């Protein structure tokens, strides 16, 4: 018998031993020692550790004469400063025949530049400083924010305020944003989850609810630059804004910067919309 034949014979013998001896023994052991499944406890019998105490950081709150509310929180761990402005507005406030208007306002406020600086100039300025300024509008609120190194705060904060107060809304950037939205409409049925989500919202809120409306080609076509300007003027004013800033700064100096930057922004007498 050759060496190869001996190897094959040994392998067959091992396989037979495993099949007729080890497997039955394993099954017998499992039968004699069944796993005891615990009966799940009723949720009323469950116990939980108390939640950790929520401790808010020290902060300073003040209100400008024009109605803007400001919160400041010092954090000197890193040489960074971050700020966010919350604006009382939202998609729910746009006309039903111009769905998509609010989102366009939030997009073109940033992508369109300001009355003093083009979008390209703003982008280059921010990229050179690893900083950012962003805007957007969702269902129930709008937002504008900035992020910067401490050393670049004066310049970046001035640009943030300029974006918030003096957006240009150029036609070319509006057309680009509308083209991007049309692309989203064309692709939205590619994802079954997206279809289910839209139909679910209609069932929950009703077809006429602002929370069940979705941008369509027709509503997008109804939106003009004048609509963006009108929507902006209606909701973007200081007594409709809450500004929060956190980071590596001195509270007294930051308060002076905020007051100097926004003090001449005139309030609007109309009551702000409820969130």
Tell me how far apart the alpha carbons of residues 261 and 175 are, in angstroms, rounded to a whole number: 31
CB-based contact 135:160 (threshold 8 Å): no
User: pLDDT digit string (tens) for 226-243?
Assistant: 999 999 999 999 999 999
- Pick the residue with more confidence: 269 or 57? 57
User: pLDDT digit string (tens) for 30-83?
Assistant: 665 655 445 677 888 888 899 998 888 899 999 999 999 999 999 999 999 999
Q: pTM of the predicted model, to two decimals?
A: 0.80
Of the candidates 128, 88, 39, 109, the residue with the CA atom closest to the CA atom of residue 241 = 88
User: pLDDT digit string (tens) for 149-206?
Assistant: 999 999 999 999 999 999 999 999 999 999 999 999 999 999 999 999 999 999 999 9
User: pLDDT digit string (tens) for 16-33?
Assistant: 555 555 656 666 666 656
Tell me how far apart the alpha carbons of residues 146 and 121 are, in angstroms, rounded to a whole number: 16
**Is the pLDDT score of 274 beyond 70?**
no
N- to C-terminal Cα separation, the chain: 89
Domain ranges of the chain: 60-185+215-262
Helices 225-235/101-111 angle, 10° precision? 90
Architecture field, domain 60-185+215-262: 2-Layer Sandwich (3.30)
């Amino acid at each position: 018998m050759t060496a190869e034949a001996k190897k094959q014979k040994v392998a067959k013998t091992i396989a037979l031993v495993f099949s007729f001896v080890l497997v039955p023994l394993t099954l017998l052991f499992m039968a004699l020692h069944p796993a005891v499944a615990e009966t799940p406890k009723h949720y009323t019998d469950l116990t939980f550790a108390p939640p950790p105490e929520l401790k808010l950081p020290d902060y300073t709150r003040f209100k400008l004469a024009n109605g803007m509310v400001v919160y400041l929180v010092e954090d000197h761990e890193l040489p960074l400063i971050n700020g966010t402005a919350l604006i009382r507005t939202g998609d729910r406030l746009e006309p039903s025949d111009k769905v998509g208007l609010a989102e366009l306002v939030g997009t073109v406020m940033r992508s369109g530049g300001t009355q003093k600086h083009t979008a390209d100039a703003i982008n280059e300025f921010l990229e050179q400083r690893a900083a950012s300024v962003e805007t957007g509008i969702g269902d129930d609120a709008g937002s504008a924010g900035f992020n910067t190194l401490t050393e670049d705060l004066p310049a970046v904060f001035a640009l943030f305020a300029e974006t918030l107060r003096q957006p240009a809304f150029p036609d070319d950037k509006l057309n680009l944003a509308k083209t991007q939205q049309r692309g989203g409409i064309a692709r939205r049925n590619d994802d079954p989850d997206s279809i289910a989500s839209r139909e679910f919202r209609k069932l929950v809120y009703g077809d006429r609810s602002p929370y069940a409306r979705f941008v369509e080609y027709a509503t997008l076509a109804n939106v003009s630059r004048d609509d963006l300007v009108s929507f902006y003027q209606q909701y973007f004013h200081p007594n409709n804004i809450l500004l929060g800033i956190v980071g590596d700064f001195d509270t007294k100096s930051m308060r002076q910067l905020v007051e100097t930057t926004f003090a001449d922004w005139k309030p609007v007498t109309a009551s702000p919309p409820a969130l």
